[in-house]
């Protein structure tokens, strides 16, 4: 029997990157899915790919997780299509890195809105359904940055740090309904667009070195000497969502190859 056989799951930010990988993995583990993203065309493509590869039912939606009406609509559609929700992965996030003196206030607030408030909203909406069934498991994709901060990245770090305390708070509040809430804190995922399209170039310029040297520098800091792969994160997420983790809630689990974060 697959670990998440016939469970109903929601994945946010599933158009690309880690979210897309998690959608495919959940379906491979037996889930039917509602996947959403602000990028409607791409999330619909993801939905078709996942459905074709796994023969699981996938509903793809345009959703801005920071909007109350969108989050509510996502849950209404999940309930209409599947008559319940068992699992949520809150993965959608934004990141712009700027110094404290360069950050414009709108962008700073936007990151908190999507990464922190959006996480809260999605949990609130799904928990209203999960509490009726006295069962549910929620995982937020956090970051090692949420535990140790990051220079010239204050909004993202604050949003992720807030996400850890929010996870702890909501886990305590929702335990009486048998809803578990955990988060996963990955290290750098070099295969992601963030690294491939932004960070390798930014750090190469900042340190005056090549992109290859940037990857080597960051890899050297990791005891297991490699970046975090989507699959590393997916393995932990599936475990936390499954009944194998039925005694775990309120945790922020590092998937960092031994990289030092508390």
Ligand X SMILES: NC(=O)c1ccc[n+]([C@@H]2O[C@H](COP(=O)([O-])OP(=O)(O)OC[C@H]3O[C@@H](n4cnc5c(N)ncnc54)[C@H](O)[C@@H]3O)[C@@H](O)[C@H]2O)c1
Contact 249, 183 (CB under 8 A): no
Two structure tokens written together for 12: 């946010």
Determine the Cα–Cα distance for residues 189 and 21; give it in Å rounded to an integer. 13
Which residue lies nearer to ligand X by CB, 8 or 155?
A: 155
Site string for ligand X, 22-61 (x = CB under 6 A): ---------------xxx----------------------
Measured from the CB atom, the residue of 93 and 245 that comes closer to ligand X is 93
For residues 181 and 213, what is the distance between their CA atoms, to the nearest angstrom? 38
Q: Which residues contact 56 (CB under 8 A, 6 or more apart)?
A: 27, 30, 31, 32, 33, 50
Give me the half-sphere count of Cα atoms (radius 13 Å) on the Cβ side of residue 171: 21
Closest CA to 238 of 137, 146, 95, 132: 137
Q: Which residue is nearest to ligand X (CB)?
A: 17
**17 interacts with ligand X by CB under 6 A:** yes
Is the CA virtual torsion 229, 38, 169, 153 positive or negative? positive
Closest to ligand X by CB, 63 vs 129, is 63
Per-residue mark of binding to ligand X, 185-204 (x: CB under 6 A):
-x-xx--xxxx---------
Q: Could you say whether residue 141 binds ligand X (CB under 6 A)?
A: yes
Classify 149 in phi/psi space as left (phi over 0), alpha (psi -120 to 50) or beta.
left
Choices 23-31, 87-95, 99-107, 211-219; region in contact with ligand X by CB under 6 A: 87-95
162 binding ligand X? (CB under 6 A): no
Q: How many residues appear in the chain?
A: 262
Interface with ligand X (CB under 6 A), residue from 4, 50, 85, 114:
114
Answer for which of 15, 24, 27, 179 binds ligand X (CB under 6 A) is 15
Is the CB of residue 32 less than 8 Å from the CB of residue 50?
no
Q: Which of 156, 203, 230, 247 is catalytic?
A: 156
Q: In degrees, to the nearest 5, what angle opens at C-alpha 255 toward C-alphas 162 and 33?
A: 75
Q: Which is nearer to ligand X, 59 or 92 (CB)?
A: 92
**Which is nearer to ligand X, 39 or 49 (by Cβ)?**
39
Query: Number of residues in contact with ligand X, rule: CB under 6 A?
Result: 29
Q: Which of 65, 78, 129, 164 binds ligand X (CB under 6 A)?
A: 65
> What is the distance between the alpha carbons of residues 172 and 119, in angstroms, rounded to a whole number?
16
* CA nearest to 167, candidates 179, 177, 157, 155: 179
Choice between 74 and 179, CB closer to ligand X:
74
Indicate whether 93 belongs to the interface with ligand X (CB under 6 A).
yes
**Residue 163 in the binding site for ligand X (CB under 6 A):** no
119 tagged catalytic: no
Residue ranges in contact with ligand X by CB under 6 A: 12-13, 15-19, 37-39, 63-66, 91-94, 114, 118, 141, 143, 186, 188-189, 192-195
Task: Supply the residues annotated as catalytic.
Answer: 156
């Amino acid at each position: 029997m697959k670990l998440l056989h016939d469970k109903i799951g929601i994945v946010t930010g599933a158009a690309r990157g880690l979210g897309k990988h998690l959608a495919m993995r959940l379906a491979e583990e037996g889930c039917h899915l509602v996947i959403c993203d602000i990028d409607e065309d791409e999330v619909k493509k993801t939905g078709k790919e996942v459905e074709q590869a796994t023969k699981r039912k996938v509903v793809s939606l345009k959703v801005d997780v920071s909007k109350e009406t969108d989050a509510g609509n996502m849950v209404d559609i999940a309930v209409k299509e599947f008559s319940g929700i068992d699992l949520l992965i809150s993965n959608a996030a934004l990141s712009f890195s700027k110094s404290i003196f360069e950050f414009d206030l709108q962008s700073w607030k936007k990151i908190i809105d999507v990464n922190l408030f959006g996480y809260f909203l999605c949990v609130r909406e799904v928990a209203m359904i999960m509490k009726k069934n006295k069962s549910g498991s929620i995982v937020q994709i956090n970051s090692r940055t949420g535990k140790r901060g990051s220079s010239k990245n204050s909004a993202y770090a604050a949003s992720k740090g807030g996400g850890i305390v929010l996870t702890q708070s909501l886990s305590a509040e929702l335990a009486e309904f048998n809803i578990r809430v955990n988060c996963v804190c990955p290290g750098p995922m070099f295969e992601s667009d963030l690294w491939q399209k932004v960070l390798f170039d930014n750090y190469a310029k900042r340190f005056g070195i090549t992109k290859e040297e940037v990857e080597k520098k960051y890899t050297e800091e990791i005891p297991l000497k490699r970046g975090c792969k989507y699959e590393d994160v997916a393995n932990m997420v599936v475990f936390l969502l499954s009944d194998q983790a039925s005694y775990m809630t309120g945790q922020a689990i590092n998937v960092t190859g031994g990289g030092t974060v508390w």
